[in-house]
Structure 1
Amino acid sequence: MNLSTLLEERAADGHPVRIGLIGAGKFGSMVLAQARHIAGLHVVGIADLDVEKARASLARVQWDEEQFSAGTLDAAVSSGETCVTDDTADLFACSEIEVVIEATGHPIAGVRHALAAIDAGKHVVMVNVEADVMCGPALAERARKAGVVYSMAYGDQPAAICELVDWVHSCGFELVAAGKGMNFCPGYRYSTPDTVWDYFDFTEEQVNSGDFNPKMYNSFTDGTKAAIEMAAVANATGMDCPSDGLAFPPAGLQDLAEVFKPVSEGGRLEKSGIVDIAASREPDGRMVLNNIQYGMFVTFRAPNEYTRQCFNQYGLLTDKSGWYGSMWRPFHLIGLETSVSVLSAALRREPTGISKRYRADAVATAKGDFAAGDMLDGEGGFKVWAKAIPAAQAVDLGALPIGLAHHVKLKRAITRDQIVTLDDVEVIDDLDIHALRTEQNQLLES
């Protein structure tokens, strides 16, 4: 709770926290919108393949052009300005940069960027949950050995869920479930980039503004993003994914403790210690009362009768028995909050969530029947959605992680809702990622 104080002390010593940002899309823009208002935080460099698009993002979040006019990173360090480059290697080579934020959303690039940053002795804030769920445990182990911090991004839901889980353990309650809210119905599963805007209330002007990527938004709609994020939370907390994937039970605030407890206790979970989603819509499409579409939650059990009585005395929302309670955070502000992770890494050398173990995976699952020779198009596309399953199950199946399901050719036909395996596709490129995944298998926890 003292990050701002620590930052003030650094700034007073003339030693700002210097960062590099990779990716100036929606998330990166939100980071930049706040960064220039945080005294003592200096964005030295921004790397994006499209430099002009990055400059347009800076202008859109009200940066003055002279603020990002530095010609080199060294000049940016000296002047306090920012350098925009198309080469991520520039950021890794700059000795003054302490923390790199990876916000590309591209899983393979994200893994490679994280490895390069770790090798350069820099802390990594991994906005790119797609990369984290694919190789996060291995990256975290590499960072540990290198003596740097590898962290989830605060402001994104996985880090906020990890914070709630930590609160449960720190208070001595029994952790039962953790998850987030989401606008989801079973029929959304087969949404495509062509149909995705039907599920949102955005205006045509908003959609055409340059901030709205149909594949990204489709990954939220079809449940892929949920699978990615919940598998990442499982890897960070030691919790489990349901054996047949996320169930998305509809639940409002008043129902969390009743729904997210084991079936043996009258709830919907196969066991205690599960991650899942509180859907904000009923299966027929009606909105759930008091839904937590933008929030995160935990459910937990009182360890004794006295604590159970306290739950009641202090107004905690509980199940009918009073033994199970829930706590939640109603909103998350995405990149507007990510500076918390940056400062935690630089000033306290602590992550805001880290994939410490390999317990879960998000695997490619067919949206329809497709023939040999068809090309898969990855997260948020027309061909596959991601299913969150236990890591041991993914390894036994030889399942294809969703992060490696883009632009790969099928060797044999697949059917709707079938988990795609590595044997089903032609594995040609990305052998370094497959090698890292093999390394990660050594971190498998049953």
Structure 2
Amino acid sequence: MSLYQQLQEREISQKPVRIGLIGAGKFGAMYLAQIPRTPGVHLVGIADLSPDAARTNLKRVGWDMNRIQAKSIEMAVQEKSCFITDDWTKLVNAPQIDVIVECTGNPIAAVEHCLKAFSQGKHVVNVTVEADAFCGPLLAKKAKEANVIYSLAFGDQPALICDLVDWARTCGFPVVAAGRGHKWLPHYADSTPDTVWNHYGLSPEQAVRGGLNPKMFNSFLDGSKPSIESTAVANATGLLVPSNGLLYPPASVEDIPVVTRPMSEGGHLEQKGMVEVISSLEKDGRTIPYDIRMGIWVTVEAETEYIKNCFEEYKAHTDPSGRYFTLYKRWHLIGLEVGMSVASVALRKEATGVPYCWNADVVATAKRDLNPGDVLDGEGGYTVWGKLLPAKKSSQMGGLPLGLAHQVKVVRPVKKGQSLCWDDVAIDKTTDAYRVRKEMEAMF
């Protein structure tokens, strides 16, 4: 039975999947827009630091405001309405809720939310991939020990890439490479919230209209988010990562199977079985026609002459050798697709991407010369960007994970372009996030 049919059955039997949403910003608002149009689900509660902002977003996406008047979780369940609070613990402690959707974008808070939800027997769909990037494998382990599901969020590119990789392997194809697209030029690594909109291709007026956060969008532009998402993919699929950061080879959709071959065969990969990000810009800044900027892809290999001939007979677009083929989606719909993860986790007990190994890490790297007393402001800010590295390399250097580079004071000089290590900062060792990260390092 399809997920949609199962949801319809839940609707008919009046046994909906009950959801608690933590964080009702842009991503959360996109998911909120789809909930009233999806059978068999009930948003029981929203926790947000600003309940008024959550109500504004609900109104913006078209909710009936009479449906958000519940004064408690119990009342929300009884009246099939929604309870709004600034206390996230009320959601994770509520026995009526089946699935928590963690959507804060704050990696340190997200770890705490996930751990508490596991302890209360709740599945978690984690939109805050920044948290997954620095301790996802251990979060998945703790979820399994609690007999619940921990999952990446469909609509975000990592879960969609994992889906393509799973498709390829389940069909018997070896995965040569997988990843996403991105608008990239090397100097974007220096971008700050003050420069993001010009580089991104939006006007400040469009950004304000959409309620877009310049720091968050800058984390995409400066390479932090592509590194974070590539880390999540590598740790959830077992794919390897480049030895010194993403290369961002420029390519049209047509050329992806050409550039995602090993270097020994004219491509850009150090070896087969890696993650990479394709740039939608040529090195001189020219826009590439028919790009993969907002999409995802997987490149597979025909291991036999017969399979290669099948590619040819069915007009599959390959590299010139006929052996490498790329399947792709040119778009992802972000929060509008989260319902797939919620339904999969609740009804099939299957994650839509879950880390099981520690292949990759994202290390905070200086955007400018940093001096003792400077305070790091995390991904997308003015001080650091995230560099993708093999986990073994990061571990050996004591790399500071980008997800923990928030409101942390620098104690030693760090040159621009240098990756930071633990000894460069005064880290707060009392947080769940720090404890879980160190536990994961010890485990692996």
Q: What TM-score bracket applies, with the shorter chain setting the length?
A: over 0.9
CA contact (8 A) 2:197 2:204 kept: no
Task: Give the secondary-structure state (helix, strand or coil) at the position aligned to 1:139.
Answer: helix
Q: Residue type matched to 2:121 in 1?
A: G
Supply the distance in 2 between the matched residues of 1:315 and 1:363 (Cα, whole angstroms): 42
What residue in structure 2 maps to residue 306 of structure 1? 306
CA contact (8 A) 1:252 1:290 kept: yes
What residue in structure 2 maps to residue 12 of structure 1? 12
Of 206-215 and 319-328, deviating more is 206-215
Mapping of residues 222-241 of structure 1, within 5 Å: 222-241=222-241
Change in Cα spacing, 1:296 to 1:408, as seen in structure 2 (3 Å) is same
Supply the distance in 2 between the matched residues of 1:202 and 1:46 (Cα, whole angstroms): 30
What residue in structure 1 maps to residue 114 of structure 2? 114
CA contact (8 A) 2:121 2:148 kept: yes
Task: Provide the TM-score with structure 2 as the length reference.
Answer: 0.98
CA displacement 1:335-374 (0-9 Å, x = unmatched): 1010000000100000000011111111101111111221
What residue in structure 2 maps to residue 401 of structure 1? 401
Task: Give the secondary-structure state (helix, strand or coil) at the position aligned to 1:365.
Answer: strand
Identical-pair percentage: 49
Supply the distance in 1 between the matched residues of 2:204 and 2:433 (Cα, whole angstroms): 38
What residue in structure 2 maps to residue 327 of structure 1? 327
Task: Give the secondary-structure state (helix, strand or coil) at the position aligned to 1:420.
Answer: coil
Task: Provide the TM-score with structure 1 as the length reference.
Answer: 0.98
Mapping of residues 23-422 of structure 1, within 5 Å: 23-209=23-209, 211-422=211-422
CA displacement 1:61-82 (0-9 Å, x = unmatched): 0112101111111100000000
Task: Give the secondary-structure state (helix, strand or coil) at the position aligned to 2:176.
Answer: strand
Supply the distance in 1 between the matched residues of 2:407 and 2:261 (Cα, whole angstroms): 40
Q: Residue type matched to 1:174 in 2?
A: P
Supply the distance in 2 between the matched residues of 1:435 and 1:333 (Cα, whole angstroms): 34
Measure how far apart 1:206 and its partner are. Answer: 2.5
Q: Residue type matched to 2:48 in 1?
A: D
Supply the distance in 2 between the matched residues of 1:161 and 1:398 (Cα, whole angstroms): 29
Measure how far apart 1:197 and its partner are. Answer: 1.0
Measure how far apart 1:443 and its partner are. Answer: 4.6
Measure how far apart 1:442 and its partner are. Answer: 4.4
Task: Give the secondary-structure state (helix, strand or coil) at the position aligned to 1:36.
Answer: helix
Task: Give the secondary-structure state (helix, strand or coil) at the position aligned to 2:426.
Answer: coil
CA displacement 1:176-228 (0-9 Å, x = unmatched): 00000111111111100111111133344332236210100100110100000
Task: Give the secondary-structure state (helix, strand or coil) at the position aligned to 2:209.
Answer: coil
Q: Residue type matched to 2:46 in 1?
A: I
Note the residue ranges of structure 1 that are not aligned, 5 or more in a row: none
Measure how far apart 1:441 and its partner are. Answer: 2.1
Measure how far apart 1:430 and its partner are. Answer: 4.3
Supply the distance in 1 between the matched residues of 2:223 and 2:204 (Cα, whole angstroms): 24
Task: Give the secondary-structure state (helix, strand or coil) at the position aligned to 2:357.
Answer: coil
What residue in structure 2 maps to residue 437 of structure 1? 437
Please give the root-mean-square deviation of Cα atoms over the aligned residues, in Å.
Answer: 1.1
Supply the distance in 2 between the matched residues of 1:431 and 1:192 (Cα, whole angstroms): 27
CA contact (8 A) 2:59 2:65 kept: yes
Supply the distance in 2 between the matched residues of 1:370 and 1:93 (Cα, whole angstroms): 42
| Alignment size in residue pairs | 444
CA contact (8 A) 1:137 1:443 kept: no
Q: Residue type matched to 2:84 in 1?
A: V
Of 316-325 and 435-444, deviating more is 435-444
Supply the distance in 2 between the matched residues of 1:15 and 1:46 (Cα, whole angstroms): 20
Q: Residue type matched to 1:313 in 2?
A: E
CA displacement 1:290-318 (0-9 Å, x = unmatched): 21111100111111000001111111111
Q: Residue type matched to 1:273 in 2?
A: G
Note the residue ranges of structure 2 that are not aligned, 5 or more in a row: none
Of 194-203 and 248-257, deviating more is 194-203
CA contact (8 A) 1:358 1:443 kept: no
Supply the distance in 2 between the matched residues of 1:428 and 1:147 (Cα, whole angstroms): 30
Task: Give the secondary-structure state (helix, strand or coil) at the position aligned to 1:71.
Answer: coil
Task: Give the secondary-structure state (helix, strand or coil) at the position aligned to 1:283.
Answer: coil
Supply the distance in 2 between the matched residues of 1:339 and 1:126 (Cα, whole angstroms): 12
Supply the distance in 1 between the matched residues of 2:411 and 2:28 (Cα, whole angstroms): 37
Supply the distance in 1 between the matched residues of 2:98 and 2:119 (Cα, whole angstroms): 13
Task: Give the secondary-structure state (helix, strand or coil) at the position aligned to 2:37.
Answer: coil
CA contact (8 A) 2:176 2:272 kept: yes
Q: Residue type matched to 1:298 in 2?
A: V
Of 232-241 and 282-291, deviating more is 282-291
Supply the distance in 2 between the matched residues of 1:92 and 1:35 (Cα, whole angstroms): 20
